[in-house]
Amino acid sequence: MKRLVALLLVLALVLGAVLTGLVVFLSAGEDDTGSAPPPQRAVRTDGGEAPESATTPPDPALADLYGQELSWESCEGGLQCSRLTVPVDYAEPTGDTVEIALLKVPAARPEQRVGSLVVNPGGPGAPGTSYAAAADRVFRQRITDHFDVVGFDPRGTGQSAPVDCLTDEELDAYLATDPVPDDPAEEREVVGWVERFGAGCAQRSGRLVAHVTTVEAARDMDVLRSALGEEQLDYFGASYGTKLGATYAELFPDRVGHLVLDGAVDVSLGSRRLSLDQAAGFERALRAYVENCIDSTDSCFLGDDVEQGLATITELVESIDARPLPTGSDRELTVGKAFYGIVTPLYNRDYWFLLSAALRSAQDGDGAALMELSDLYASRGPEGYTDNSAEAIYAINCLDDPFAIEPSEVPDEYAAFEEASPTFGRIFAWGLIGCGGLEVERSEPAPDIAAEGAAPIVVVGTTRDPATPYEWAEALAGQLESGVLVSRDGDGHTGYNAGNACVDEAVEGYLVDDVVPDDGLSC
């Protein structure tokens, strides 16, 4: 995504941020270091003026924006950075503007360059510039050889006029709150934070906070496509980035080149159903983690069977709720922080060992390891928050879908959510109140998405993805008129560069060679 109550309804969509952080922190699968064959698509060398058709605006009033040229400057260890100008409100194209931060990793083999690949890691709220900067770990060599990888911080995030809702101290307190209030006093505290968070966004961010919808970010992507000199958009979006890509395809179907939507979101669902499905997804991932512990060791520290292992984790969380753990600093591990610390490593099977180490330490009374994982999820460093993703996810998702229920209605949701997730159900149920605090009207509603007339779009789903359940990928591929489903049988969030050669070759063959995978390919 990283939040307490308000953001729990979209908990997993922030995973692009987690994925990016963990990719940089550890690694992101095996790279193909062999010599890649030349691409079969038409090769474009960098330089020269953009084709006139690439800069043709969808509205004559946007002509100046579509005609802009990017000025790339060296930054971040030899990479290239620039800024893109877009209108705050597309209904007022000559009014106030905002600058979008860009970062480009040039193709490693410029003589075999295919074009620009615009990328987004998800969230919403994760900085796309950081994602692109880690291109050699996020993508395999076949991609980085033949594409300029271009990341952007969507409006309201990262370095693109970031929205602000709380001070760092307030955000610490917010994330530490009990996600399932146990008494009237805790309930008042949770409700108070929801109201304070929403009011803070409006007070601290000004006019922009009403213009950070996914639709507007998709419009920005088309301005970026034009500025890059590309007649059609080649794009790789993970997690929430799939919603952004699908929205782009609906708005600009004739500009779709090659879109890969990995870890797909079912864009037809409302917030309640999304939250219910995610609760089930995290439960499935936690069960897989516990089962792996039992199957791979002679004596799993969690217990002798899956149910006992889940009970051990639940009892630990309840004990932390009653008595927060020390962390070796002035910050205690509260139950809210413990929750984020537990779910973060579930995004990638390779990081399950981190969860085991953190749970063992917590059992011994030390909360430092779980706190570190929670901080990673919230983009919090030793000196404070390193980006605004914890605030941006709230603003973007609540503008896209301002659904919320009253606190008094939450207990009525317990049965459905506990059936989906005995471990996490009530946490996700309380997340349904989250958008009740933001009293800002969006500039335009989200469209129904089918992308009629678009070129083939590849949708990737992983069978035991905790954050974006596999069923969502099936649904999105079916909703898109030209959707092509590629399935990965495995654990963790997203499917590309996760150790599955079948998925990797399908994605790279599509992007580099223009070979569309068979719909329904199972890997």
- Catalytic annotation, pick one of 465, 482, 487, 504: 465
Q: In which element (H, E) is residue 225 found? A: helix 214-227
- Catalytic annotation, pick one of 116, 160, 239, 389: 239
The string of DSSP codes covering 467-521 is SS-HHHHHHHHHHSTTEEEEEEEEESS-STTSS-HHHHHHHHHHHHH--PPPTTE
Contact of 97 with 155, CB cutoff 8 Å: no
Contact of 321 with 335, CB cutoff 8 Å: yes
For residue 153, which amino acid is it? D
Length of the chain equals 523
Can you give the C-alpha Rg of the chain in angstroms? Answer: 22
Rounded CA-CA distance 490/283 in Å is 15
For residue 161, which amino acid is it? A
Rounded CA-CA distance 198/6 in Å is 9
Active site (annotated) includes residue 493: yes
Rounded CA-CA distance 126/130 in Å is 8
Q: Is 459 left (phi over 0), alpha (psi -120 to 50) or beta?
A: beta
- Catalytic annotation, pick one of 146, 211, 258, 493: 493
**CB-based burial label for 245 (10 Å; 0-12, 13-18, 19+):** buried
> In degrees, to the nearest 5, what angle opens at C-alpha 280 toward C-alphas 275 and 283?
125
Active site (annotated) includes residue 465: yes
The string of DSSP codes covering 129-192 is HHHHHTHHHHS-HHHHHHEEEEEE--TTSTTSS----S-HHHHHHHHHS-SS--SHHHHHHHHH
Q: Which tokens hold the place of 36?
A: 């890649």
Active site residue ranges: 239, 465, 493
